[in-house]
Structure 1
Amino acid sequence: MDHTPVRNAVKGPEAAFTGDVYVTPLKAATEPSRLISALVRFTPGARTHWHSHALGQTLHVTEGVGLVVTRDGDVARVRAGDTVWCPPGEEHWHGGTEGTVLCHIAMVETPGDGDGTTWLEPVTDDQYTAAHQQ
């Protein structure tokens, strides 16, 4: 057994997030495991930039209401207890709604080097607003 005490939350970098987002690491990829997980907290209106994952990503919502949106326009409105799987290579973003926080556990497997995430451009305000209307 390996017991890890609570880690400090860090503010998500502007290169990957719009708005105030806080990330608390839960698990690092320690061999033989390749799993990385973190608790991610989005304030209302905060969101990731467009991104994809080499081996996919699982999101498990722990609190609040939010959106997970794919590049082809699919919008999932998620709430506590929901789990979303984003397949390998699928460009997507996720975050809080205009009036609610979103907290989720994000889980990815590393492909070997880094965490396999490819960060892309920010989600525009127009894209964010349009997702709320679907």
Structure 2
Amino acid sequence: MADQRILVSATEVDELGAIKVLNMIKFYEILLNHDKGIQGKMRDYQLVGLNWLIRLYENGINGIQADEMGLGKTLQTISLLGYLHEFRGIKGPHMVVAPKSTLGKWMNEIRRFCHVLRAIKFLGNPDERRHIRDELLVCREV
């Protein structure tokens, strides 16, 4: 494959354990080749952002993405959730808090880019939200 970008740089390989490097490389393979993985191709700066998010997770640190609109924060976040699902066995539930005006976009992007994630919009009157919470947000083993 001509374009072999990986999620870690050469200088980071020595700082990380071999297992973590292999997981990140394996996750990159999912980005391109796996039916359940991310459907699409990320730009170099998006891979850097995804690597940063994974490193935050690996070190138990919280972070926030804040840059110009249209640079792929949604895809990077979905990719992180895909990584957690496929390589850490963390299937959720996860909560993405976003403006109401962007909820439809988030739902579409999750369906488009990562089929393995089950997205549920937590929106409605109190009775509808109670139903969503009690019936749809329950993690069930399949």
Q: TM-score range by the shorter chain?
A: under 0.3
Q: Which is bigger in relative contact order (C-alpha 8 A, separation at least 6)?
A: 1
Higher Rg of the two aligned structures: 2
- Normalising by the residue count of structure 2, what TM-score does the alignment of the two structures yield? 0.25
- Give the TM-score of the pair, scaled to structure 1: 0.26
